[in-house]
Structure 1
Amino acid sequence: MKTYDTIIIGGGRASSLAKKIGALGKKVALIEKSSLGGTCANRGCVPSKLLIGYADVIRNIQASERHYISSKIENINLKEIFEDNNSFINSVDESYKSRLNENVDLYRGVGYFLSNNVVEINNEKLTSEKIIIATGTSPKEPLFEGAWTSDDIFPLKKIPSSISIVGSGFIACELANVFNALGIKTKLLVRGDELLSNEDEDIQETFKKEFSQNIDIEFNTTVKDAKYKDDSFEIILENKDKSIKKYKSEALLYAIGRESNAKSLKLENTDIEIDDRGYIKRDDFFETKAKGVYVVGDAAGEYMLQHAAAYEMNYLYKILFEDKKEPLNFKYMPHAVFTSPEIASVGLTQKQAQEKNLDFVVSKTSWKASAKAQAMKIDYPFTKFIVDKNSYEILGCHMIGPQSSTMIHQVLTVMYIDNDIRHLKEMLYIHPALSETLLPAAINTIKDIEKRK
């Protein structure tokens, strides 16, 4: 049996944690069943956003008429686009491996627990007083044989001429936008009548209206059957009124959520507990019920976002090796949806604020006052603030429009340092930068508050 200072199960974002611990001169065992870098670098955030870069260029060309410019896309070289994307994915593992130092031993395979402090990998037993679980999640399995998940897109081995995507969340919407923009016949299949149901209702409404202009969407629809035959799927759809529709699609992709990878860990051999969703339970310091065993990132099932996982890794390092005494408190957790239109959000939705019986005001402000926004010649972008009526604290901020994911960081800065919307009113903005749209949004919100006092 080999003894290590730290064992890490999962080589995604936690590979950086292994490097940091190894730099302290401590021996680390890093266990990864596939490519280092995890879902984000190999099958999620990064490769999908690289594809979205192509989609954004195409969308801008397609929209040139509103700027009185006639343009034509003569060719979209799908082969080059996906080869470029696949080339990046194929380089990820070696890139992450090269960052590890001599104190990190990399084990390839599925690691699992024999007891609270013993892990087996490839018939070899490893032990440590500190074990970190960072095993992430996997896409929920498709209901029909031959259908894809997002894991099958990256790298994409065969470019389809048509694709049907099942789902209504951000992964489904981002991929539908990409494939459609690239000229691949795309249909989005949605069980209900909503898209991005976790977003604020005003954001949902605008997004659905704008997104539906580009994407063929079947709402209130379920896939009753799908059989792969002669290089395509024969799909049978059932609408909520029980009507049936049949059609063919070369590819069928399910983007219906993700689930815990905890089953592979054989946690029944330990004191570690899981919740009713299958995610690993932990305390405020990331520790499980097994002393010295910690869980970070998506494996805990809390904030399943890459930036949250990275933050947790850094914080756990401080707890274990810098004697950090305070628990991590994510007071605000931002996110974005990188599609067309783009969305960014932080804090409570209006519905959530109402459910909490908070005393708040809501202000929804168009970006039209900004010359920079006017130059885009689109009408839908807006910023929505939900603000405490008494303290001026920003409870939630929701944006829809180009560069929303960048613009919201200005709001985040105020929220993290001294959460008072009046700072957004008092600060000096570059005119007419797009961020200046936050000024009338803040002014309108403060006016609404003062009217109610």
Structure 2
Amino acid sequence: MTQFDLIVFGGGTGNTVASAAAAEGLETALVEKGPLGGLCLNRGCNPSKMLIQHANVANQVRNADRFGIDATIDEIRFGEFVRAVNAELADAASSKETNKREEEHLTLFQQEARFVDDRTIEIVENGETHTAEKVVIAAGSRPVVPDAIDGLADVDYLTSDDAIRLETPPDRLVVLGGGYIAAELGYFFESFGTDVALIEMEDSLVSREDDEVAAAFTEIAADRHDVHTGHRASSVAKSDGEITVTAESENGDEVAVSGDELLVALGRRPNTDGIDLDATSVETTDAGFIATDERLRTNVENVWAMGDIADNGMFKHSGDYEGEVMIDNVARESERVADFTALPHAVFTEPQIGAVGETESALDDSGREYVVGRAEFTDTAMSRALKLDHGFAKVLADPDTREILGCHVIGHEASMLIHEVTPAIRYGATVDDLANTLIHAHPSMSKVVMKACKDVPESVE
């Protein structure tokens, strides 16, 4: 048995924690069975956003005539750019591995492992055991594939891991799910000629967004996809190379949707069951995530958890922030608190969605009073330059203090616009600060946020 100061179980964002700890002189073991960089670099936000940018460029060319420019697409080298994207990221992961093997005080185990007690792991391949005074669990998540859909296990379905590696766009794609993964990949494949059908059990796509944003996006998506909201998939069957999904609504309406490929995009689940966490005393939530406190500590002394497996956001940017907290608390023995106030997120489809803070439905459920300001993208000067015909920003604020409680944007570059409001929420600025004190460059799109803040009434109507 080898004794380390620290074991980091998981080489996604956890790899930065391992390197920082090693730099502080801690003898550190980094355990990751797959390529370093984890989900985001290899199977998630990096490849998907790189591929989506190809779709954006293709659509910009197709829409050039709106600006009086005649342009055509002579060829789309789909397989070539898919291979190039994945090869570039594979090289980045390989470079990470090379660098880790050269770092002092760091030992990389690029093998499958499992826990045998609170702070001891076993390498599955050879039975070697390694223990440490401190352990950070950062083992990530994987796509949800439900058992309740009859016949699903009998067909060759895709998950997001597979879809980003398809080198030929399918003629027809059926997507189970309507969240951000389904929305982004549906947009990507549709942009290259695939007929996309989305089956979503909720009443709208991207149902975790503010209701008004979700409704607006669902309407836009329905213009380019075959959208079936309010339907739960009940069975899957394959015949003559065609996959057919049957889905039912609560009132018994049934639809059957067929395609050449089936993408299961029903969310992600923590990898707690795949690392024998039951061999430890580490507590998990009812949903299977590792429970942590405000310093990312588990209930077991000297054991921390971060990233998707701890469910403090399930975003790469929240994982990066947790990594910074973890470095301070584990490698430098500080007592830093993880503060997830004003954690933004974005959906990189067309149009983009950006959000931070509370939704209207969450505020309604809590009984908290709020006021709403709203502005259309078309009310800004820049919208004329960009020839925008849709999009809006809405701001939710406390009627008494005027502090911003939430902001939701759907439209051009919403992923960037939302960051005007993010620091305002985190540091307690008011809608009046953004509307009247902050000077906005003209005619930037950020003025849509300013206009939404100006639109917030003085009191609850």
TM-score range, shorter chain: over 0.9
Partner of residue 365, structure 2? 355
Are 1:382 and 2:392 matched, yes or no? yes
Partner of residue 74, structure 1? 74
Q: Which moved more, 1:271-280 or 1:241-250?
A: 241-250
Q: Which moved more, 1:291-300 or 1:436-445?
A: 436-445
Are 1:436 and 2:440 matched, yes or no? no
Give the superposition deviation at 1:348: 0.5
Give the superposition deviation at 1:283: 2.2
Give the TM-score normalised by the residue count of structure 2: 0.92
Partner of residue 105, structure 2? 103
Q: 1:186 aligns with which of 192, 196, 202?
A: 196
Match of 1:384, SS state, is strand
Deviations 1:351-404 (A, max 9, x none): 111222222211111122321122222232111000011111100000111111
Match of 1:47, SS state, is helix
Q: How many correspondences in the alignment?
A: 449
Partner of residue 134, structure 1? 138
Q: 1:216 aligns with which of 226, 233, 249?
A: 226
> Does the aligned pair in 1 maintain the 2:61–2:73 contact within 8 Å?
yes
Q: CA RMSD in A?
A: 2.1
Cα distance change of structure 1 residues 157 and 59 upon mapping to structure 2, 3 Å threshold: closer
> Does the aligned pair in 2 maintain the 1:211–1:341 contact within 8 Å?
no
CA distance in 2, matches of 1:275, 1:245: 35
> Does the aligned pair in 1 maintain the 2:290–2:298 contact within 8 Å?
yes
Give the TM-score normalised by the residue count of structure 1: 0.93
TM alignment of 1:96-245, pairs within 5 A: 96-100=96-100, 101-121=103-123, 122=125, 123-141=127-145, 143-144=152-153, 145-156=155-166, 159-228=169-238, 230=240, 232-240=241-249
Give the superposition deviation at 1:239: 4.4
Structure 1 unmatched runs, 5+: none
Cα distance change of structure 1 residues 233 and 226 upon mapping to structure 2, 3 Å threshold: farther
> Does the aligned pair in 2 maintain the 1:343–1:404 contact within 8 Å?
yes
> Does the aligned pair in 1 maintain the 2:8–2:14 contact within 8 Å?
yes
Task: Work out the percentage of aligned pairs sharing the same amino acid.
Answer: 30
CA distance in 2, matches of 1:45, 1:39: 8
Cα distance change of structure 1 residues 64 and 193 upon mapping to structure 2, 3 Å threshold: farther
Cα distance change of structure 1 residues 283 and 115 upon mapping to structure 2, 3 Å threshold: same
Match of 1:183, SS state, is coil
- Which AA in structure 2 matches 1:3? Q
Are 1:86 and 2:95 matched, yes or no? no
Cα distance change of structure 1 residues 61 and 157 upon mapping to structure 2, 3 Å threshold: closer
Q: 1:263 aligns with which of 273, 286, 292?
A: 273
Cα distance change of structure 1 residues 365 and 422 upon mapping to structure 2, 3 Å threshold: same
- Which AA in structure 2 matches 1:74? D
CA distance in 2, matches of 1:406, 1:29: 37
CA distance in 1, matches of 2:368, 2:253: 44
Structure 2 unmatched runs, 5+: 147-151
Cα distance change of structure 1 residues 85 and 418 upon mapping to structure 2, 3 Å threshold: same
Give the superposition deviation at 1:452: 5.6
Q: Which moved more, 1:265-274 or 1:254-263?
A: 265-274
> Does the aligned pair in 2 maintain the 1:4–1:27 contact within 8 Å?
yes
- Which AA in structure 2 matches 1:181? S
CA distance in 1, matches of 2:259, 2:164: 20
Are 1:304 and 2:319 matched, yes or no? no
Match of 2:455, SS state, is helix
> Does the aligned pair in 2 maintain the 1:225–1:236 contact within 8 Å?
yes
CA distance in 1, matches of 2:83, 2:226: 27
Q: Which moved more, 1:377-386 or 1:97-106?
A: 97-106
Are 1:285 and 2:285 matched, yes or no? no
Q: Which moved more, 1:198-207 or 1:43-52?
A: 198-207
Match of 2:368, SS state, is coil
Match of 1:362, SS state, is strand
> Does the aligned pair in 1 maintain the 2:13–2:319 contact within 8 Å?
yes
Partner of residue 26, structure 2? 26
Cα distance change of structure 1 residues 287 and 245 upon mapping to structure 2, 3 Å threshold: closer
CA distance in 2, matches of 1:352, 1:234: 38
Give the superposition deviation at 1:247: 5.8
CA distance in 2, matches of 1:113, 1:387: 46
> Does the aligned pair in 2 maintain the 1:296–1:312 contact within 8 Å?
yes
TM alignment of 1:311-390, pairs within 5 A: 311-390=321-400
Match of 1:74, SS state, is coil
Partner of residue 55, structure 2? 55
Deviations 1:302-342 (A, max 9, x none): 31111111101110111123343342221111101110110
Give the superposition deviation at 1:209: 1.5
Cα distance change of structure 1 residues 263 and 350 upon mapping to structure 2, 3 Å threshold: same
Match of 1:440, SS state, is helix
